[in-house]
Amino acid sequence: MAATALAKAPASPAAAGAPAGNALSVRNLDVVFGKGDGAITALSNVSVDIPAGSLVTMLGPSGCGKSTLLRAVADLVPASAGSITVLGRTPEQARRERNFSFVFQDATLLPWRSAIDNVRLPLEVGGGSGTHDDPMDLLDLVGLKGREKALPSELSGGMRQRVAIARALVTRPKILLMDEPFGALDEITRDKLNEELLRIWQETGTTIMFVTHSIPEAAFLGQHVLVLAAHPGRVKEFVTVDLPFPRRLPVRDTMEFIQITARLRKLLEEC
């Protein structure tokens, strides 16, 4: 598979730019928290390839380690065994080169900074003022034109998460890691942001890994759904969602969609 080719050529930075192949490759990954008797195995022998430019959602019961997998890819959690290759690099190299961005469940905006200044934050730290997009254009992209001077406390939860997405996109990342970004939002806002995320994905061509615990959200957004099982966290199945893009919300009322969600639900019940 292409994954092995990438893994064998980590020194070639050209591979990073290639649209074909895998943006992300995880091999036999174990993540264990703690030591000795109290050790908790969060992930056990996880292997997965994420094709470049794809949108993969991760679904699973709580405790299945879906967030841990995302955090391991983002170099926030160390791998206990196995390997993670992000665009041919280690997670740490990829982080230093700003190859990926992370969107958290909470918007994690700095409350004293205006919307636009929050979007600028990645350009001010970590030596990250290299290639980047205009923060103003990004606020426009996420539908917040005219609110750039607003403080986070003056924005709704959905708007704050839009700012967080704009901030994640400002460094032009090749990969966007999203950890239940819409989990705390009401359903109407969540639906709207789901549609907009698909639009942004198609406009930017970014590879997206999206963690959720909502079956419809996983099916609506994902080209593929990575279903994880719990205790210990492991891969249950890699489901391909055969629905054409661009997808709009009404697709969720079609027979095909309902069949897919039914299948995902069944897989989760087996977990």
Q: What is the DSSP string of the chain?
A: -HHHHHHH-TT-THHHH-SSSEEEEEEEEEEEESSGGG-EEEEEEEEEEEETT-EEEEE--TTS-HHHHHHHHTTSS--SEEEEEETTB-HHHHHHTT-EEEE-SS----TTS-HHHHHHHHHHSTT--SS---HHHHHHHTT-TT-TT--GGGS-HHHHHHHHHHHHHTT--SEEEEESTTTTS-HHHHHHHHHHHHHHHHHH--EEEEEES-HHHHHHH-SEEEEEETTTBEEEEEEE---PSSP-GGGGGSHHHHHHHHHHHHHHHH-
Angle at 220 between CA 119 and CA 49, to 5 degrees: 75
Output 109 or 200, the one with its CB closest to another protein.
Answer: 109
Min dist. Cβ of residue 211 to another protein (A)? 14
Among 151, 184, 185, 230, binds another protein (CB under 8 A): 151
Q: Which of 127, 146, 244, 250 binds another protein (CB under 8 A)?
A: 127
**Residue from 53, 88, 135, 152 binding another protein (CB under 8 A):** 152
Closest approach, Cβ 90 to another protein, in A, equals 13
State the Cα–Cα distance between residues 126 and 139, nearest whole angstrom: 22
Site string for another protein, 85-124 (x = CB under 8 A): ----------xx-x-xxx-xxx-x-xxx--------xx-x
Q: Smallest gap, in angstroms, from Cβ of residue 65 to another protein?
A: 17
Closer to another protein by Cβ: residue 5 or 76: 76
Residue closer to another protein, measured from CB, 108 or 156: 108
β-partners of residue 239 are 225
Exactly one of 5, 18, 32, 76 binds another protein (CB under 8 A); that residue is 76
In terms of CB distance, is 50 or 70 closer to another protein? 70
**In whole angstroms, how close is the CB of 104 to another protein at the nearest point?**
5
In whole angstroms, the minimum distance from the beta carbon of 267 to another protein comes to 30
- Site stretch for another protein (CB under 8 A), options 7-15, 38-46, 71-79, 234-242: 71-79
Residue 160 CB, nearest approach to another protein (Å): 13
Q: Which residues bind another protein (CB under 8 A)?
A: 74-76, 95-96, 98, 100-102, 104-106, 108, 110-112, 121-122, 124-128, 151-153
